[in-house]
A and B are shown apart, each in its own frame.
Chain A
Amino acid sequence: MRTNNLILQFTSKFVFFIIFFFAVHIFFAGHYTPGGGFVGGLLMSSALVLLVIAYDLKTVQMILPVNYMYMTAIGLILALGTAAFPMFVGKPFFTHFYDYFHLPLIGKTSLHTAALFDLGVFLVVVGVTMTIIQTIGEDE
């Protein structure tokens, strides 16, 4: 018998975006409040896992054609790149830089290179979690 997942699928369409934006919020809030790349990444992958549960791996792979293995590698390169950049300007490895900028709409904002490092962590966490879930899920 084919089960009807209408309610689950319909709800997850909404909930996915709520979790997605919460993950983004947590990621950006990390510098001043609890949160950061690791938790944000986990939340983001939980949103993706919700989709996988409501639909199936193939559909999700069709909607989001992402190679999570490469995503992990890109995250690693981004994190290492941020950490290694100061070497080229004569500062010790892992020195971070920050400054205040006037952005349109948002106004005065401080931008910090630690956020780039966090973005790397974020990508690695999402990549690793989704790789684990995909490989176990596809296993017959």
Chain B
Amino acid sequence: MINFLLIPILIPFFTGMVLIFLHKNVRLQRILSLLALFCAAFMAFLVMVKVKNEGIQSVTFGDWPVPYGITMVADGMSSLLVFTTFVLGFFIVWYGFESIGRGREQFFYYPGIMFILTGVTGAFTTGDIFNLFVFFEVLLMSSYLLIVLGGEKGQLRESIKYILVNVISSALFVISVAYLYSVVGTLSMADISVKIAEINQPGIITTIAVLFLLVFGLKAAIFPLYFWLPSSYGAAPIPVLALFGALLTKVGVYAIMRTYTLFFVHDVSYTHKLLLILAVLTILAGCIGALATFNVKQIIIYNIVIAVGVILFGVAQMNETGLEGALFYLVHDMIIKAVLFMLVGLVIYVTGTADLRNMGGLMKTYPALGWFYLIAAFGLAGIPPLSGFVGKLLIVQGGFEAGNIWSSIFLLASSLIVLLSVIRIFIYAFWGEEGKRITIEKHRYNRMFFPTAVLVVISVAYGIGSEWVVPFMDNAAKILVDPSIYVDAVMKGGK
């Protein structure tokens, strides 16, 4: 069936619409959204397997021939990311049952989640640059709802910043697309790739490449455009923060990966050098931020910035090893950030504070939480059997192959700082004297802990079972290195 790759996107979209009618019935909303996300994850898995076995899947809306209609393309990278998105969405929604609060649940929290997942997966799957913009707006609009929902003072203040930054970056996105359209005269990504190769990347295309880096960099929080991220994300409630931290910046990273491997590949010495420098600076800025704060949420938030730098460092190498590492690390980072935010949410729930200096001694009362946190922290830093290892190894290997010796060594050294920043949470919160403690409902804690623990196990399995993931990654990285595979598949698929 030609529309098969659309089904994972349409399921949450349709569910979101239905949930609007049921917004007073919290129980039914919970059941329906979990069910929908499970089905979507299952279908996304089938699409991923199909892409691996039969090559790139594409469908052009309305039966139009290729460059004229909107094409949706599921290649290795996008099907992998869509699957990861739904798995994470499933566990984050489950976790949110006990932590988001009834007021929010009755006021369109679940439709918001469904629409944001539609936007994220749509952005991963689209093969049309303006349609990418539309899906960006879908996910941003829903994220505006989710960040302000609840109406606390901090949320109101930070949502203004968040909306302002994103409105500006969206306007820049439209301007960049307009420039690109005036040069190449097409919007289909495959066709743009062909046209740019024909005109052999004159100066104006390099300018547009930098403009796109600016736009997607604002969404993905690279240096020096990450300024809005720490405070905005800090205001959101924990399940929303987990969703944002795991997915939103990654869409920007995906867009950079897509445009910098498909369009702008003819003046690599300038564009990818710029990307490399910015990636290194992003890691540096994130490391400084992560060490400078005592707020547990902020520590993890700055780790998002570091991870964005690491992934883009892999992209900037422009060889198969580096790109495969970037993909490995991208999926790892989506999982591990969701896990860490959920764990940190539990720590905040138990202690009633986000300040490390007021915590302590949790290991005696919550040993399971402590051990799972330690595993997740080691996974983030990339200790060998765990999930962060393979990605970073490949990225560094790609860096050495491309001759960027010093920056690769810098990347390795930054892992130590990442480890230090998350181990600080462990030392302060779990060791030492008993800190301030508030009374909590044990059954709520248990119900929040269970999905978190399952997700930790999944992240460990992702690290240990890398052997099984490798064929998918190889398949995806091959397309990134050689854009002609993508172009041929899309052009042929339409007619």
A13 to B: closest C-beta gap in Å: 33
Where chain B touches its partner, the secondary structure class is helix
Known: A80-B14, A92-B60, A96-B62. A73 touches B20 (CB 8 A): yes
CB-CB under 8 A from B62, the residues of chain A are 92-96
Contact check, B14 vs A92: say whether CB atoms are below 8 A apart.
no
Q: Mark A76-90, 1 if CB is under 8 A from B, else 0.
A: 110010001001001
> Contact: A93 with B21, CB < 8 Å?
no
Residues in chain B near residue A25, CB distance under 8 A: none
Cα of A71 to Cα of B21 in the assembled complex, Å: 10
Cβ contact within 8 Å between A73 and B17: yes
> Among B2-10, B272-280, B362-370, B428-436, which stretch is in contact with chain A?
B2-10
Q: Is the CB of A92 within 8 A of B10?
A: no
Does B270 touch A at the CB level, under 8 Å? no
Q: Is the CB of B20 within 8 A of A69?
A: yes
Shortest distance between the CB of B253 and any CB in chain A (Å) = 27
CA distance A90 to B1 in the complex (A): 7
User: Of all chain B residues, which has the CB nearest A77?
Assistant: B17
| CB-based A-B contact count at 8 angstroms | 42
The answer to whether A87 and B3 touch across the interface, beta carbons within 8 angstroms, is yes
The answer to whether the Cβ of A91 comes within 8 Å of any Cβ in the partner chain is yes
Task: Tell me the complex Cα distance, A125–B12, Å.
Answer: 22
Name which of A70, A73, A77 has the most chain B CB atoms within 10 A of its CB: A73
Given A69-B20, A70-B20, A73-B20, check contact A93 B3 (CB 8 Å). Answer: yes
Chain A: number of interface residues, binned into ranges: 10 to 19
A45 within 8 A of B: no
Interface residue? B371 (CB, 8 A): no
Q: Is B63 an interface residue (CB 8 A)?
A: yes
Residues of A within 8 A of B1 (CB): 87, 90
Which chain B positions have C-beta within 8 A of A95?
61-63
Q: Are B63 and A80 interface neighbours, CB within 8 A?
A: no
* B21, A73: Cβ atoms closer than 8 Å: yes
Q: Is B59 an interface residue (CB 8 A)?
A: yes
Contact A92 B20 (CB under 8 A): no
Residue numbers in A under 8 Å from B63 (CB-CB): 91-92, 95
Cβ < 8 Å to B, chain A residues 20-75: 69-70, 72-73
B13 within 8 A of A: yes
| Closest residue of A by beta carbon distance from B72 | A93
* Distance between B18 CB and nearest chain A CB, rounded to angstroms: 8
Bound-state CA distance A73–B13 (Å) is: 11
Closest Cβ of chain A to B108, distance in Å, is 9
Question: In this complex, what residue of B is CB-closest to A75?
Answer: B17
Cα A72 to Cα B20 in complex, Å, equals 9
A80-B13, A90-B1 given; name 17 further pairs at CB < 8 Å. A70-B20, A70-B21, A72-B20, A73-B17, A73-B18, A77-B17, A80-B10, A84-B10, A90-B2, A92-B2, A92-B3, A92-B62, A92-B63, A93-B3, A93-B6, A93-B61, A96-B62
User: Would you give 16 A-B contacts (Cβ < 8 Å), ordered by A?
Assistant: A73-B17, A73-B21, A84-B10, A87-B3, A87-B6, A90-B1, A90-B2, A91-B63, A92-B2, A92-B3, A92-B60, A92-B61, A92-B62, A93-B59, A94-B61, A95-B61
Residues of B within 8 A of A (CB): 1-3, 6, 10, 13-14, 17-18, 20-21, 59-63, 72
